[in-house]
Amino acid sequence: MPPDQEPPVSPTAPARLAALLRRETVGGALLLGAAGLALVWANTPWRDAYTALGAVTVGPAALHLALPLSGWAADGLLAIFFFVAGLELKREFVAGDLRSPARALLPVAAAVGGMVVPALLYVAINRADPAALAGWAVPVATDIAFALAVLAVVGRGLPAALRTFLLTLAVVDDLIAITIIAVVYTQHLAVGVLLLALVPIALFGVLVQRGVTSPWLLAPLAVVAWALVHASGVHATVAGVLLGFTVPVKPGLAERFEHRWRPVSAGVAVPVFAFFAAGVTVIGPGGGVGTFADPVTVGVVVGLVAGKAIGVTGATAIVRRVTRARLDESLTGLDVLGLSLLAGIGFTVSLLVGELAFGGGTPADDHVKVGVVVASVLAAALATLVLRHSARRRT
């Protein structure tokens, strides 16, 4: 090396960790690991300690923010996940496939079909129990992080267009799921407080539109916006989406914010939420065969696995038949089937909807958790088989 040339600067340990957490496979592994740990702990003789940990209350009571740790995970940390989702949603609408109606038609139709059919199947299975019908939206959501992580592992030899289709489908899925959360599962709405929340959101938007990225200015506004949305009765994660929507895609600000916050979302927010949300006793007191036979559990599993497969593939086929929309020439019907099964991985948002529909810790919510875990594992396994077979056919 010449004497006047400085040696290359090696990345610091935090930078290497952040880069690692941006990998889809790593985020999916952490999510699965946290959920697995919760399930194991909840089915040991020390299950009461797990329940007690989630019930520990922290936060200022004067601001109505004295929440259990499980509540902070669902309302607080998960807002970071939805902030990143909001950034991704806007980027897709402004500069991605959703910008072009012709290119977006098939994945958008697939997303809608993949939400309507699971909901109908769930309702059909639980039609005899009006209380159980509150969970109709549980099987409509696709876990974008988990699904992309599985595709990253099994997708060798498959065309890049498959990931683009899945990403677009999942983005539309997220948008509809967020709307359902905001509209359907808001029981008590304080309109004045919600309108007040628009002030810090607007200030946040003005600053980022002017290129301000300082966390010392933006973070307090984001926290105030989150607290006001929480106080309004709308689920606080909606604040994350709205803040994400304010970030301009050009000149690359959305990508910069996503680059900064994705490791926090994938490495902390989603795994911690999964840890507190997925722990349910399926053996011993409170568990047993009845959990798996309950119509709520069956409705979730059938909705996510069969409903997503039927809805995504059916909507894709119908739109191709009645319009000029066409799949990317590198994709086959087998690829679409595998993708539709991947869409049945409904972890994060499905667990959240279950809590909102039935209340955390209730028997119905526990059955939702079992159904979501079983369905997600089954959907991932079936998708792996189909997609690996598709890849082998290409060789």
Taking only the tens place, the pLDDT of each residue in 216-229 is: 999 999 999 999 99
Distance of CA 354 to the CA centre of its chain: 13
Contacts for 79 with CB less than 8 Å, ≥ 6 apart: 226, 236, 237, 239, 240
- 393, containing H or E segment: helix 363-394
Tell me what pLDDT residue 288 has: 56
d(CA 232, CA 3): 63
Considering only CA atoms, give the Rg of the chain.
21
Q: Considering Cα of 303, then 305, then 306, then 311, what sign does the dihedral take? A: positive
pTM of the predicted model, to two decimals?
0.80
- 102, containing H or E segment: helix 101-125
Q: How many CB atoms lie within 10 A of CB 50?
A: 21
DSSP assignment of 114-167, as one string?
HHHHHHHHHHHHTTT-TTGGGGTTGGG---HHHHHHHHHHH-TTS-HHHHHHHH
Alpha carbons within 13 A on the beta-carbon side of 168: 25
- 67, containing H or E segment: strand 67-68
pLDDT along the chain (395 residues), means of 10: 51 76 79 86 88 89 83 88 85 79 85 95 95 94 81 80 85 84 82 91 94 91 93 85 89 85 89 84 61 90 96 94 86 92 89 88 88 91 92 81
200 touches 225 (CB < 8 A)? yes
Tell me what pLDDT residue 113 has: 96
pLDDT above 70: percentage of residues in the chain: 95
DSSP assignment of 320-365, as one string?
HHHSS----TT--HHHHHHHHHHTT--HHHHHHHHHHHH-TTSHHH
d(CA 64, CA 227): 9
DSSP 62: G
Structure tokens at 85: 């989702």
pLDDT digits (tens, 9 = 90+) for 70-126: 889 888 888 898 898 888 878 878 887 778 777 788 888 999 999 999 999 999 999
d(CA 92, CA 301): 30
149 touches 121 (CB < 8 A)? no
